[in-house]
């Protein structure tokens, strides 16, 4: 095992552990926040940054291979679809929740 492989393994492990830490802090935020839109914000941050760190860590641990290419494609797909899905769910919450103005500031369209 070369020095470069050892460094990549160490960085990969650090990225995966940091991603898991982000997931755990997001879960705490989801349970602590009172309003739905605040909870969704915490979940969306976890989804964007936590998944990024875990997948980058797995790519570093796996090395250059077809599996790494598939992980990159998964990462691109999640980064393209997750914000859109979160935005649509938040917009639906604003449209269907009768007292949303009491909870947060909402722009009228």
Residue 97 near residue 36, CB atoms below 8 Å:
yes
Instruction: Give per-residue pLDDT as tens, 20-71.
Output: 999 999 889 888 888 878 888 888 888 888 999 999 999 999 988 999 999 9
Q: Give start and end residues of each alpha helix (H) in the chain.
A: 3-32, 36-45, 51-62, 66-96, 100-103
Contact 47, 40 (CB under 8 A): no
Every domain of the chain and the residues it spans: 3-103
Q: What is the Cα–Cα distance from 102 to 100, expressed in whole angstroms?
A: 5
Q: What is the pTM of this model?
A: 0.79
Residue 76 CA to chain centroid, in angstroms?
12
CA dist 97 and 77 (Å) reads 30
């Amino acid at each position: 095992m070369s020095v470069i492989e050892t460094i990549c393994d160490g960085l990969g492990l650090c990225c995966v552990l940091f991603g898991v830490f982000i997931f755990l802090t997001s879960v705490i935020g989801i349970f602590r926040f009172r309003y739905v839109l605040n909870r969704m914000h915490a979940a969306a941050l976890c989804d964007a940054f936590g998944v990024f760190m875990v997948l980058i860590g797995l790519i570093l641990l796996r090395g250059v291979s077809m599996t790494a290419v598939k992980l990159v494609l998964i990462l691109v797909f999640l980064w393209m679809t997750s914000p859109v899905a979160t935005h649509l769910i938040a917009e639906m919450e604003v449209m269907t929740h009768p007292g949303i103005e009491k909870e947060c500031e909402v722009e009228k369209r």
